[in-house]
Each structure stands twice: as C-alpha cells, then as structure tokens.
Amino acid sequence: MRRLTEPARQYFSQYGILVWIVVVGLVFSLLSRRFLDLHNLLNIVTQSSIIGILSVGMTLVIITGGGGIDLSVGSIVGISSVTMAMLIIPPSYFRDTASMLSLSVTTMTLVKAVGVALLVGTACGAVNGLFISRVGLPPFIATLGMMITARGVAAYVSAGMPTYGMPKPIVFLGQGRIGGIPLPILIMLVLGVIGYFVLTRTVFGASVIAIGGNRETAKLSGIRVKRILLIVYALNGLLAAVAGIVLTGYGNQAHPEAGALSELYAIGAVVVGGTSLMGGKGGIIGSLLGAILMAEVQNGINILNIPVAYMQPALGTLIVLAVMLDQWQKRRVVSE
Amino acid sequence: MSELKKRVLTGAVVAFAALLLLPLAYAGGANESAKKTSKPKVAVVVKTLTGDVFQLKMAEAARDRAIELGADATIYQAGGQTAVQKLVSILEDLIVQKVDIIVVSPLDSKAVVPAFAEAKKAGIVIVCMDQTAEGNDFVSFISTDNYKAAALGAEYAKKALNGKGNVLVVEGAPGSSVGDQRRDGFKETVVKGSDIKIVGSQSGFWQNDKALEAAQNMLQANPDVDLIFSCSDVMVGGILEAIKMAGKEGTIKVISFDGSKFGVNLILDGKIIADVAQFPVKIGKTAAETGIGVWNKSIKVESLARFIDVGTTLITPENAKSLVDSAF
Amino acid sequence: MANPAHQLGRFTGVIRGAAAAASRALGIWLWVIVFAVVFSLISSHFMSILNLSNVTRQASIFALMATGMTFVIISGGIDLSVGSIISLTSAVFGVMWKMTNNLALSIVAGMMVGLLSGTTIGLLVGFLEIPPFIATFGMMGVGAGLAFAVTPSSISGFPAGFEFLGNGHLFGVPFPVIIAIMAGVIFHFLLRRTRLGVHILATGGSESSALLAGINVRARKLTVYVINGVFASLAGIILCARIRSSYPGIGKDLELDVIAMAVIGGASLVGGSGSVIGALGGALFLTMIQNLFNLIGLYPFMQKVITGGLIVVAVMANQSRRRRRSQAASDVIRASTE
C-alpha cells in the first residue's frame, strides 16, 4: 500500500500547495452548491491568470537571490495599460468621454500601441536591472523607486482618468476563448510552460539558479552575473506589460491605478508555491498554483457573500497556513 | 563597476536630482509673489485624483472657478481613498503656507477636526465639499445627499422590477463614508414596501477590475438576478463585462451612480437603465465661490446655509439625451 | 614655491576629505541638512518655526515605526504588516473607548494589538521558520480586514487632553518628537551597546555563525518582531491623538514608506547592519520632501516621480559610502594576508 501511495506522497510533498487548493475547494463546495461547477472553476483560474502571468517572471527574479524581488510589477501593469490606451485614443475622444466604444481602430495603430506598451514595460524592467546589477542597489529599493515613479508617470500620461471600451482584439485577449478555454488562462499556461522550459532546460535558466545559489561561485565559474540579472528584470518588466494588456482587455478598461497591490500577491504566490526568498531554488508550477489558490479564496468569499472585511484576513491566514503545511511536509520527507 | 565610475555616477545622479528640484524654485517663487498682490490663495484638497474621476472633476472645477474669480488656486491630493494621515499633513502645511481659503473634501468627518481648528485660528476660511466634517470650524458644506440620491435610484429600481426580484449591490471601498451612504440609501429603500431581495452585496473597491470579479462571483452564486446596483460609474464598466461573460447580457438591469459622461452614454446605448447623477463640477464651483465670497466678505457668514445641497437628478433613458453634454 | 595646480589639488583634496568624513559620520543626516538648506531657498516657509515643528512632528510617527523596522531588517527579516497593525490598533483603541470611556484602558488595549501581532509573527518566523515576507504579508491582511470588522467607521469623542499626546508641545518641542528622540536614543544604545543588540546584529549577519556562537537565534527573532509591533501600536496611538479620533483605514500603505526610511537610514535588507539614528534621519528625509511638495503646491502627479527618484538617489549615496568602507576593509584584509 505504501509503495502505491509513495509517488503520490512525494508529489504532494513537493506541491503541498495542490493539497491546499483541493482542501479549500472542498470546504467551499460544501458551503455552497454554486462553487463546484465548471463555469466557476474556469472563472477562478481566469481570475488568477493576471497574478499567474506576473508570478512567472517574479519566480525568476526571486530565484536570483540576494534579496531579488520586484515591487514594481503592479505599476508596470498600470503604466503599460494607459500607455497602450493613450496611443490609441485621439485627444478629442479622451476630452469628451474617455471612451473608445465607438472608435474604429486601424491595425497599425493597435500594433504600435501594444508594441510601445510592451517596450515601456521592458524598459522599466531594464532600468531596475541596471540599478540592481550595475549600481548595486538593493532590489527592494530599486524596484520600490520604480514602483512609485511609474505610478506617477502613469497618472500623468492619463491625466488620472480611466479609458473605456478597448478595441476588439484587446478585449479578445482578455475575454475571448479558444477551444472553450479563456484566453488569459491560455496565455498564462503558455508563458508558464515557456518559463518552466527556460528555467529547467536552458543554460540561461541554469545560470539563474546558480546565481541564486551562490553568487560568488557563479561568477567564478564564468557566468556573467550582471548581464543575466539585467535580462531577468527586463523580462519581468515585459511579462508585467503583457499582464497589463491582458488585464486591460479583461476589464475592458485602461486605468492608471491598474495592478495596484498585485506585486504583493505575485510575490505571495511565488513564495507560497515553494520558491525560497533566499534564492537558488523554486518552480514556476508552484507559483502558478499559488496564484490559483489566492483567486480561489477570493472567489469563495464572494460567493458565500462574506463581508469584505473578512476577505483579507482569510487570505492572509490561508497563505501562512499553506506555507506552514508545505514546510512541515518537506521536513517529514527529509526525515524519512 | 569601479570605484571611480560609481562615484561619478553618484555625483551625476545627485546633480540630476538637484536639477529636478530647480523647477520647484520657480513654482515656489510664483506662489510667494502672489501673496503680495493680495489675490486670495486658494487650496483645493481632495483625497485622490487618480482612479476617482468624481474627485478629479470636482477639484478641477473648484480650482478653475477660483482662478476665474481672480484667485491663485492649487490642487492637493492625499494620494489614497483612506490616506487620512497625509490629508491632515497637507492641511497643516497649508496653514504654514498661509493660504486664505481651503476648499476640502475631508475624507473622514472626524479626523480633520484638530487641523480645522488650527486653520480657523489662523484665519483661514474652510469650505467642505462632498464629505462633511464635525464641528463648526468650516463655513459651509456643499454636496449632495448621497443617501437620498441612492434612494432615488432605489425607487426607480422598484418601478423597473415591478416591486419584485433579486438584486445585487456592488459597494465602494471599505471605509468610504460616501460609499456607505450610497449603499445604505439604496439597500434600505429598495426593500421597503416591495418584494425585492438583496441576494448579494460585495465591495468593488471603487475599482473596475475588482468590481468585475465581485460581480462575476456574485452572479455565480446567484444565477437568478434581476438587477445590479453599482455605487459608482467607475465600477459599472466591469460589472457590465461580468454580466456579458456570464452570458446574461440583456436579462439583468443595471443602475449606477455618479452621472458621468461614461454613465450617461451607457444609458443612451441601452446598457444601463438609470444613473443617479451627482454634480461634482457644480459642487466644486459652488465651493470655490462660497469660499472666496466669505473671504472677501461679499457673502455674510451668518446668512450662509450650513449645508448647500447642489441637488441630484436621476438620469434615465427619457432625459439622458438632454443631460449628456452637461455630464462630467 | 609649490606650483598653483598642486596647491589647488591639495585644497580640493582637503574639501573632499572633509566631505567624505562628514558623509561617513552623518550618513543620511548629511542629506537632511543639505536638503534643508536647499528647501529653505526654494520656499521661505520651510524654515519657519511652525513648519519645522510640523515636519518633525509628522516625521516622528514614522521615526518610531522606522526604529522598530530597523531592528527587524537587521535581524534579516522584514515586516509588511506595520501599516495594518496601526489600522487595527486605531480601531481597537476607538472601540474600547466607545465601550468603556476609559482612556488608559483603551490605550492599553491598543498597545496589546501590537504586542500580540508582534508575538505571533515572531513565533511564526522564529520558531516555525515561516519566511518573514509570508508571515507579515498574512498578518497585513488580517490586521487590515479586522480593523474594519471591529469598526467600519471612525470614532471620536476623545477628551481634549488626549490630543496633547499628538499635537502638544513641551518647551516648544512637539511631544511626539520628544517621544521619538527618547525612543531613538534608548534603542540606539540597545542596539550598539547591549548583548541583545549584538546578538541581533549577529543573527542578521550570519544566522549559522550566530547559532554556532551559541546565540538563541529564535528568541532574538521573536524579540525584534515584538519590538516592532509595540512601536507600530505606539505610533498608531499617537496618530489617533493627532487626529483626535480613530480611523480603521489609517495605516494603509504606510509599510513601504517605513521600510524605505529604514533602508535609507542604513539598514541592509540582507541583514546584519542598520542604524537607529539613520532610521530617524530617513524618516525625516522622506517627510521633509513631502512637506516641501505641500508648501509649494507641486503638481500631484509629479510628486511621485520625484519621490521615487530621490529614494533611489539617497540609498545609492549611502550605498557607495558603505561599500567604500567595506571595500576598504576587505582591501586591508587582503593586503595583510598577502
């Protein structure tokens, strides 16, 4: 019997978070008949996909260790959202209604707008990377500075106002489906798979892990630490911009405050998923699962009509318990 | 990076930072010279300018009207829906700056009382807009009655549903008294004398995306919903998306609050059935006029009403066309 | 007799040496002084007694929080929950007052919030080895949500005497400033001159070495989070005194400011070093900047951009100074072993 359950237990000890997702799901489905239907489950994963996309890049950032973290992703979501919108909407429309609902947009305009938005995100990430790798600024501070600054620029660029009614292709990115699966989920999965592949099967990924494990050793073995750090943070910025565009399509609205606080949830998802803040080890899959768990809790609370004042404590407590369980599991496996 | 390069870089960044501060010297200078020409200095203070078009338009209206009336006016923001501590700091710094008039949306009725007392002692005229404060240190409060306004929306909802049905409410952010008043005004009125049930009420945090998720999840829990009330236009876009994604477009009526151009256009497009209009532009203008009037004694404080209700209108498909241009 | 170029070089060398020495000794305070001078040129109101009183008063609340945070960061941790703990403290304090009308009891209740939360976090981090980010992130959610559950709206009616705690003066110095300076001095001494302080520094520097040296790492970690919790609650009570009311959302988003202040003051996020005096300076630095923005009415959207940039600059400047010192130290070590 033990031999049969052994691989399962090994798997679960590695992905204790999966256990939690199931347990929480069971509890909610007992409390509400409306929880466990396909439509809601799809909703949960869709609602998790923005944090999920952010957590892919954040996993890489945190693995690089040495305090590696990126607090600016939320603001990059915001700035890419409004950059894209501002490049599409003509000033007169913006003045009158800030709505693009009746605007027809050429493909060229759209491509340019999205391209610039992605570029802005990457640039923000690259600036982070430069300050961290070349100037030696602590990642917390460098990305905190970027977080504040980018938010300010986003507010300035959009005059503090949201823009409604995105062009159809953008809305499709956020609300469309392919083969019955919502597009945000597909995008999250694709990016997750690419991230997993990069991290586990490429030299680049191995270098990232090595840097997180022991920076000095990595440098001595010829890894170009500074360049890799720059790339990791720039990539993170790019992914945050992608999340920003998907989010804009999902809500059909571009907003300077978009993504506020999402950096904390992304980091939370990554750590809950098993990646160590010390660096050197972790996994993309765990991070995605972490994002799903958080969306699940939020969803359940809304469905059960629990007052919002209890949502944050529930989420917070659950995250701590999830990590506790995970660590207890790991210790048990080690001692066996 | 070599030591020398680092030092040069630090020096360059410091110099750049200093350059950034230079324009402030001019801004500061402009403010100072204004005092000497005895134009009144007006400070417009709101809780946030981003993500809250109502506050933004109200603040801009107050500032522009003050400038029209010959004053120097600047907008200040606390930077968040609950940033009480920053708001109080702004008020204290305004007293140091020796402004003449403060037009403020206090964010909380109690927290600003000590700061208001100091300002009054310094001879500053204080006008409250949108949100009132406790005590007597301000000369007037200009707003609309959020509770009564939401009740208007509730009456329309009762009519639209023929007195029967399931209703969802998407609330504002916790801690927002304006949001609480709107929510209570709607909820308490809509169930009175009707068979209407409120089957869900969750916070949309005044954010489109959060409102979308809240509405989505509430619709999941309650497949049989007839009407959704949104406490603000900033959230109604997301709510409509949630309805669309639940495949319920056209079967659920939506009533919103604010009366922004976005909301009125939604009525014209047939996407929502009503929008309770507040008039942030009118509020801001009246507040500025009141403040300056009291300051230059053209308005007698004794004859000034404590509460000036700028009024609300319920915008419906019948009157939407005529009101769209004046919407904010 | 000496050629003029050589003289000039000697002269600038002396200036640079003096600047370096001042920078080393004063750290962030050098910047505070420099910026104060610059600010007073930009706005004539900046140096007025009233404004200095305001700024230091506003900063003192953050100074208290930054002091506690410095301890946490030195130990190798971080605390994201301070803002929420302030909110919860405010809420509990207010509700207790509404129920009992007893000021002392209400203050005790409020302080208990910080004590309990700090203890909980300390146990999670020190004994259960939960990463500080997660433990305090969780507590942040708990604190913020519970604050609104305890009381969804603000509470007032406190006696006039209570306001003195936040807005009063003693010999012309704002009362909270006196509290902040006293706490700063005591805890600076605690950090540098007591065994507890040395142990905390060692724990943050290298946990394994500290363990080998026989330091009770777990207890030390518990201690720093309790200290931080108590400081947060204290700051919360003083804030309530300033606004003479309690407000359940009052602490929102303050934690990042506090962490930035501690780091600007010299605390290193990898643990093992930090300065209480520096934290006080960091608190004053960031508060001054906001104060100047308010005095001149700077365009709101510009404020964030400049603040973000200045934080980076301030840390960079402190950074290169610290790096030069440790670089010099390692140079010496390397030289002596060759």
Residue-range domain boundaries for chain C: 25-30+50-322
Asked if residue C334 has pLDDT above 60, the reply is: no
Query: Tens-of-pLDDT digits for all 336 residues of chain A?
Result: 556 666 665 555 556 778 788 888 999 989 888 888 888 898 899 999 999 999 999 999 999 987 789 999 999 999 999 999 999 888 777 766 667 766 778 889 899 999 999 999 999 999 999 999 998 888 999 999 999 999 999 999 988 888 888 899 999 999 999 998 999 999 999 999 999 999 999 999 999 999 988 888 988 988 899 999 999 999 999 999 999 999 999 988 898 989 988 998 899 899 888 787 766 667 898 899 999 998 998 888 888 888 878 888 888 888 888 788 777 776 766 665
CB C109 within 8 A of CB C166: no
Q: Which two tokens stand for residue B217?
A: 């999840």
Q: Tell me the residues of chain B between 143 and 182 that have a Cβ less than 8 Å away from chain A.
A: 171, 174
Q: Give the residue ranges of DSSP H helices in chain A.
A: 2-14, 16-31, 38-63, 73-88, 91-96, 107-133, 139-157, 168-175, 183-201, 203-213, 215-220, 225-251, 262-272, 284-303, 311-335
| Structural domains counted in chain B | 2
Residue B14 lies in a domain: no
Question: What is the pLDDT averaged over residues C248-269?
Answer: 90
Give the number of beta-carbon pairs within 8 Å between A and B.
Answer: 106
Least Cα separation, residue A151 to chain C (angstroms): 7
DSSP strand pairing (C173-174 vs C169-170): antiparallel
Q: For chain C, how many residues are written?
A: 338
- Taking the C-alpha atoms of residue B273 and residue B320, their distance in angstroms, rounded to an integer, is 10
What's the pLDDT score for residue C2?
60
* H or E element, residue C201: helix C195-205
pLDDT at B128 > cutoff 80 = yes
Round to whole Å and give the CA distance between A145 and A152: 11
List the domain range (segments joined by +) for residue A159: 46-330
Residue B57 tokens read as: 């338009």
Chain C residues within an 8 Å CB radius of A141: 260, 263, 269, 311-312, 315
Inform me whether the C-beta atom of residue B228 falls under 8 Å from chain C C-beta atoms: no
Q: Are residues B232 and B129 in the same domain?
A: no
The confidence score (pLDDT) of residue A89 equals: 85
Rounded to an integer, what distance in angstroms lies between the CA atom of residue A204 and that of residue A211? 11
Predicted pLDDT at A336: 52
> Which position has the token pair 């329309």?
B156
**pLDDT score for A2:** 58
Q: For residue B223, what are its two tokens?
A: 């497949």
Residue C205: both structure tokens together: 């520097």
Number of domains in chain A: 1
**Helix (H) or strand (E) segment spanning residue B168:** strand B164-171
Contacts of A252 in chain B (CB under 8 A): 237-238, 241
In a domain, A3, yes or no: no
Q: How far is CA A269 from CA A52, A125, A294, A323, in A?
A: 8, 20, 8, 11
**Which chains would you list as touching A if contact means 3+ CB atom pairs under 8 Å?**
B, C
> Minimal Cα distance from A151: which residue of C?
C304
Whether A135 sits inside 8 A of B1 (CB atoms) is yes
Sign of the four-CA dihedral C37, C43, C44, C49: negative
B6 contact partners, CB below 8 Å, separation of at least 6: A135, A136, C320, C323
The verdict on B268 and B207 lying in the same domain is yes
Question: Is residue B9 one of the residues assigned to a domain?
Answer: no
Q: Which chain B residues have a beta carbon less than 8 Å from that of A302?
A: 202, 213-214, 216-218, 221
Record: contact B89-C323, CB cut-off 8 A:
no
**Whether residue B307 has pLDDT greater than 60:** yes
Any domain includes B319: yes
Interface of B with C in 142-181 (CB under 8 A): 174-175, 177, 180
Q: Which of C42, C155, C243 sits opposite B88 (nearest CB)?
A: C243
Residue A127's alpha-carbon distances to A57, A84, A119, B157, in angstroms, are: 16, 20, 12, 52
Place B36 in a pLDDT band, splitting at 50, 70 and 90: very low
Q: Collect all residues of chain C within an 8 Å Cβ-Cβ radius of residue B3.
A: 324, 327
Question: Which amino acid, B299?
Answer: I
Interface predicted TM-score (ipTM) of this complex, two decimals:
0.86
Q: Would an 8 Å CB–CB cutoff place B216 in contact with chain A?
A: yes
Residues C80 and A316: beta-carbon distance below 8 Å = no
pLDDT band at B139 (very low <50, low <70, confident <90, very high): very high
Q: Is-contact B41 B34, C-beta < 8 A?
A: yes
β-pair type (B195-203, B164-171): parallel
Q: What is the mean pLDDT of residues C219-228?
A: 95
Mean pLDDT, chain B, rounded, equals 87
User: Judging by beta carbons within 10 Å of its beta carbon (0-12, 13-18, 19+), is residue C299 exposed, middle or buried?
Assistant: middle
Q: How far apart are CA C60 and CA B85, in angstroms?
A: 13
pLDDT tier at B153, thresholds 50, 70, 90: very high
Do B177 and B319 belong together in one domain? yes
- What pTM value is reported for the model? 0.88
Examine residue B33 and state whether it is found in any structural domain, yes or no: no
Q: What is the largest CA-CA distance in chain C?
A: 84
Contact check, Cβ <8 Å, B174/A308: yes
CA distance readout (Å), A184 to A50, A171, A173, A251 = 7, 11, 7, 12
Interatomic CA distance for residues C290 and C55, integer angstroms: 9
> Do B72 and B160 sit in the same domain of this protein?
no
Is residue B16 situated within a structural domain?
no
pLDDT score recorded for residue A9: 58
> What number is the average pLDDT over the span B186-212?
91
Same domain, B171 and B250: yes
Nearest chain B Cα to C50, which residue?
B96
Residue in the block written with tokens 């919108």: A85
Burial class of residue C48, CB neighbours in 10 A (0-12, 13-18, 19+): middle
For residue B51, pLDDT beyond 60 = yes
Interior/surface letters B98-128, b for 16+ CB within 10 angstroms, e for the rest: ebbbbbbbbbbbbbbbbbbbbbbeeebbbbb
Neighbours of C232 (CB within 10 A): 33
Q: Do A308 and B202 touch (CB under 8 A)?
A: yes
Asked whether residue B139 falls in the same domain as residue B286, the answer is yes
Q: How far apart, in whole angstroms, are the C-alpha atoms of residue B48 and residue B51?
A: 8
CATH of the domain at B126: 3.40.50.2300
C249 near A CB under 8 A? no
Taking the C-alpha atoms of residue A109 and residue A56, their distance in angstroms, rounded to an integer, is 29
The reply to whether B4 touches chain C by the CB within 8 Å rule is no
**Could you tell me the CA-to-CA distances from C27 to A140, A197, C22, C319 in Å, in that order?**
20, 45, 8, 10
Do B193 and B319 reside in the same domain of the chain? yes
Q: Which residues of B touch A160 (CB under 8 A)?
A: 49-51, 53, 56
Question: Which has the higher per-residue pLDDT, A244 or C319?
Answer: A244
- With CB atoms and an 8 Å threshold, state whether B217 touches A136: no
Q: What is C244-277 written as a DSSP string?
A: TSB-TTTTTTHHHHHHHHHHHTT--TTSS---HH
Would the pLDDT of B327 be above 90? no
Task: Determine whether the interchain pair A43/B217 forms a contact, defined as Cβ–Cβ distance below 8 Å.
Answer: yes
Please report all neighbours of B, defined by 3+ CB atom pairs within 8 A.
A, C
- Cβ contact B53–A161 (<8 Å): yes
Mean pLDDT for the stretch of residues C247-270: 90
| Nearest CA-CA distance, residue B274 and chain A, Å | 18
Which CATH topology does C25-30+50-322 take?
ABC transporter involved in vitamin B12 uptake, BtuC (1.10.3470)
Using CB atoms, pick whichever of C80, C145, C301 lies closest to residue A155: C301
pLDDT at C315 over 50: yes
Compute the nearest-CA separation of B49 from chain C (Å): 8
B25 touches chain C (CB under 8 A): yes
Q: What is the mean pLDDT of residues C84-95?
A: 95
| Residue A215 domain-assigned (yes or no) | yes
With pLDDT > 90 as the criterion, what percentage of chain C qualifies?
A: 59
Which two structure tokens, joined as six digits, stand for B294?
């009291």
Distance of alpha carbon C77 from alpha carbon B289, whole angstroms: 53
Range of the domain at B211: 146-277+315-323
A244 within domain boundaries:
yes
pLDDT reported for residue A4: 60
* C129, C137, C263 member nearest A141 (Cβ): C263
- Spatial separation of the C-alpha atoms in residues A116 and A102, rounded to whole Å: 23
Chain B residues inside the 8 Å CB shell of C19 = none
Question: Which residue has 């920078």 as its token pair?
Answer: C23
pLDDT at A165: 84
Q: Residue C58: what pLDDT?
A: 94
